Amino acid sequence: MNAQEILHTIKLSGHTHGSLVTLESVSPEWFTPLCNRLSAEFKLPLSLLYATDDRKEGKGFGIHVLFALDASHEWLLVETTLSEENPSYESLTKTIMEAHWYERYAMDMFGIKAEGHPDPRRLVHHENVPANTHPLRKDFAWNTKMEHANEPYPMHHIEGEGIFEIPVGPIHAGVIEPGHFRFNVAGERIITLEGKLFFTHKGVEKLLEGKTVAQALPFIERISGDMSASHTLAFAQAIEQISSVTVPKRAQELRVLITELERITMHTFDIGNMAGNGTGFTVEAAHGFRVKEKIMRLSERVFGNRFWRGFVVPGGVSKTLSQEELLDIVKTTKEVVQEMEDLFQLGRHSDGLRERLETTGVLAKEVAVAFGALGLPARGSGVDRDVRRDHPYAAYAEMQPEVFTFEKGDVYARWKLRALEMVESMKLIEKICASKNDGSVRVDVHVKDGMAIGAVESWRGELLNVVYVRNGVIARCVPRDPSFCNWALFGAIGPGNIIPDFPLCNKSLNLSYSGTDL
Amino acid sequence: MNSFLLTLVQFIAVILVAPFVTGLVRMCKARFQGRHGASPFLPYITYATLLKKQMVISKSTSWVFRLVPFVVLATTLFLVCVLPLLVFGGAFVSLGHFMIVAGVLALGAAFLVMGGLESASAFGGMGASREMTLASLVEPAMIATFATFSIVTGAFTVDAMFANAHILTSPALIPAIAALIMVALAENARYPVDNPATHLELTMVHEAMVLEYSGPYLAMLEYASAVKLTIFSLLVANILFPMTLAVDATLVAILITIAYMIVKVIVVSFLLALLESLIAKMRFYRMQEYMTIAFFFALAGLVFALIHITL
């Protein structure tokens, strides 16, 4: 069923722009029932919920919910306007689980109350942030110095004989970002597990407001170091849609090239890291990291930096690639994928390793759907979603990458999936490097006012970026990293496992702290 | 005088070589992984550096926390004195009754556990609970192993067992030696039981208990682990090659036994590193299976030995 048919069934009409269908100004009392109906009756996955502060335009606060229509490659955006004095609406989380973090986020950042939210605790703000601080409201200056408060930030707690609470982090033994995890355990068995993130809030969303596109680009590239190409691409796509720019064919292909290279880089790391560091099968880690270095050096040779930065720009890509560079890319990628394939086979034939990976950290399909899991964890549990196929962008419509899924949903499924996806990425890269398309790779972008959504399947999963441009500058930018949706999965994956297997579950998701903690 | 000299030689040689064994295992592992690895002599420098460092001790700890490194180090040094590592017939071999050996090992483990609990940190407690689980599984396997040796050789001290000529002639000892190797891996917190190189606090056993120690106390605890690893490496090697041990305190015999010792620790370190590179660490809940296999190997040896002597 496509968006028009759905709207016809529910007797509403929307405003269509490209693949985005918008239902503007739904009245607040009808907003929640409508979203519930779209979710329950039409089984539309809730992809994003975000708030806007439109008080300057005299429209109070806006709540926007984005549903994905995978089959017809469309997006359905439902919007409502809340009053300035009492911004509240009936919580969606009561019936649509996927909304839970988004609503808590809006409560912290905008002070928009989701009435009846089953878990209305703070999310972004820790104890030290005073009550009624809502940084994303337009009247909050980015450089406001806050008092050191001591507000409650309770975490799940269980009492009983032999139940222990284990706090872990925010400082960890490895070189990773800060995150606090609270385990309630009986012996070694995990009963509940909850994360507390947002220790290094950078205020990216706030900082982007009022910036021009060119000024904003470096911020977007640095949201999450391991996904800079994907984040930039989602942002660039949104800007191009707003400005009605058509990107040249060759640039579209080169955009596929760089995001697939990014995918191979991180899958290389993860295959080594999961099998090696997660289980102590150290040979995998040592060689995986060596191979990853090869591909990062490829990035340095071709793009002048190790993180696939600076290539994707609004309007296309920053430079055309010479024949030698393309040959280098194909050669190095082949080498890397073959070496990783060998390592993968080595691990697959180690009984001890498989014993560790199989049946560990199982994510049931219903849970994945309920939490709105994205990317690898979702596909590992049988949720067949991939933006590259479901909402094609760049040159993916013609290239039609194969999407793999597994049913088991354990760490082993996620590990195998990475190996399969890598080979598929290599095929795409070979096709692009052999492509006869050439010509310009960049067109000028004259930024117009408007809003658009950019969607990219990063190596972690579906990445969205909603951009509003007003008067030539960014009025609101919502980069939604897939990690934001996947962090809560730990609460579902962890319990039932034993504590020493948690690092393995963690590595199998490999989520970005920085991408979540904007 | 002769026996006292032999013990002194063994004591000095073992405590000098111990850091090298730890360093060598690390280097071999690095080489197996395709890394260059640090020099095998690095642990000497590490311990020396730690000795110079200031200690940070939590206010919530009691005197037990400070006592632990001394007891743990003392237990391993006691074992160096009573076990046949380089020489037979040392001065204190009569103290090397296998029940005493097992008891002293358990004493060290118990104090380490107390040290882990003392700091009242989550990781220390977690490591302590795991160590106690393992200790209760290791103990029966170890006693059954030595009981087998004892029945075959008719001796009760480890020294006399190893020196007995029958040590390699009884088929009962094949499963017992297999059990001894498995016990040795578990006792020393090596694969597949524990990963001494991990940085993941949640998976640690031995490392979790020493997490709160720093400076000289940490040096003592790490040194004790190094000595313990050397003891078990030599024990396993000596049961297979008892002819490499010295019985006379002549200069030639001592030099030969020291040369043999170096060869033995190199071979054992290499094999240990190979094992640790070939397998993944076992899931913690598989430990009881691993230790049960060890126990049944030992028990099989014991049964064979009993049948053998009754026939």
Q: Which of B32, B33, B134 to mutate to test the interface with A (most CBs of A within 10 A)?
A: B33
Instruction: Please tell me the total count of domains within chain B.
Output: 1
- With bands split at pLDDT 50, 70 and 90, how would you rate the model's confidence at B203? confident
DSSP, res A130: P
Q: Are A514 and A270 contacting, i.e. CB atoms less than 8 angstroms apart? A: no
Residue A499's closest chain B neighbor by CA?
B202
Confidence of residue A16 (pLDDT cuts 50, 70, 90): confident
pLDDT of residue B167: 67
Q: Per the CB < 8 Å rule, is B122 touching A500? A: no
Average pLDDT, chain B: 91
Which tens digits make up the pLDDT trace of B157-202? 998 888 886 667 778 888 999 999 999 999 998 988 888 888 888 8
Spatial contact of B236 and B85, defined as CB atoms under 8 Å apart:
no
CA–CA–CA angle B97, B4, B69 (5° rounding): 60
pLDDT at position B164 is 80
Amino acid at residue number A264: I
Q: Is the pLDDT of residue B231 over 80?
A: yes
Token output for A240: 């191009």
Average pLDDT over residues A22-39: 89
- Contact pairs from chain A to chain B, CB under 8 Å: 82
> Best of A282, A410, A507 to disrupt the B interface by mutation (most B CBs within 10 Å)?
A282
- Rounded Cα distance between B311 and B300, Å, is 16
What tens digit of pLDDT does each residue of B111-156 get?
A: 999 999 988 888 888 899 999 999 999 999 999 999 998 888 888 9
Residues contacting residue B305 through CB under 8 Å, at least 6 positions apart: B148, B151, B152, B170, B172, B173, B176
- B195 neighbourhood in chain A, CB within 8 Å: 280
Domain that holds residue B94: 2-310
Predicted confidence at residue A187, as pLDDT, reads 85
> Which residues have CB under 8 Å from A11's CB, separation 6+?
none
Partners of B202 on chain A (C-beta within 8 Å) are 168, 499-500, 502-503
**Which amino acid is residue A319, in one-letter code?**
K
Residue A184 has pLDDT above 70, yes or no: yes
Out of A173, A286, A498, closest to residue B201 by CB: A173
Which among A165, A277, A502 has CB closest to B202? A502
* Fold exhibited by the domain A204-516: Cytochrome-c3 Hydrogenase; chain B (1.10.645)
Q: Give the per-residue SS3 of B262-308.
A: HHHHHHHHHHHHHHHHHCCCCCHHHHHHHHHHHHHHHHHHHHHHHHH
Contacts of B199 in chain A (CB under 8 A): 173-174
Nearest to B280 among A280, A290, A500 (CB): A280
Residue A266: helix, strand or coil by DSSP? helix
CATH 3.30.460.80 holds for A3-115 = yes
Above pLDDT 90, what percent of chain A? 76
> CA B165 to CA B153: how far, in whole Å?
8
Question: Is there a contact between A81 and A61 (Cβ–Cβ < 8 Å)?
Answer: yes
State residue A24's pLDDT score.
Answer: 81
Q: What is the ipTM of this complex?
A: 0.88
> What does the domain layout of chain A look like in residue ranges?
3-115, 204-516
Residues of B in contact with A359 (CB under 8 A): none
Residue A286, min C-alpha distance to chain B (Å): 6
Residues A384-441 pLDDT 10s? 999 999 999 999 999 999 999 999 999 999 999 999 999 999 999 999 999 888 888 9
Say if residue B1's pLDDT is above 90. no
Asked if residue B148 lies in contact with residue B302, where contact means CB atoms within 8 angstroms, the answer is yes
- Averaged pLDDT for residues A351-361: 92
Contacts of A502 in chain B (CB under 8 A): 202
State whether B198 and A280 contact (CB < 8 Å): yes
Tell if the CB–CB gap between A280 and B286 is shorter than 8 Å.
no
Residue of B nearest to A164 (CA): B122
Q: Before A170, cis peptide (omega within 30)?
A: yes
Selecting from A286, A352, A503 the residue whose C-beta is nearest the C-beta of B282 gives A352
pLDDT of residue B228: 96
Residue A104 above 70 pLDDT? Answer: yes
- B252/A contact by beta carbon, under 8 A: no
H or E segment and range at residue B158? helix B158-163
- The pTM (predicted TM-score) of the whole model is 0.92
Q: Which residues of A touch B125 (CB under 8 A)?
A: 164
Nearest CA among A506, A509, A442, A428 for reference residue A245: A442
CB-count burial class (<10 Å; 0-12, 13-18, 19+) for B84: buried
- The torsion angles phi and psi of A209, rounded to 5 degrees, stand at -65, 130
DSSP 3-state assignment of A23?
strand
The per-residue pLDDT for A248 is 92
Residue of A nearest to B129 (CA): A187
**Is A376:A461 a contact under the CB 8 Å cutoff?**
yes
Q: Does B282 touch chain A (CB under 8 A)?
A: yes
Given an 8 Å threshold on Cβ–Cβ distance, is A188 in contact with B284? yes
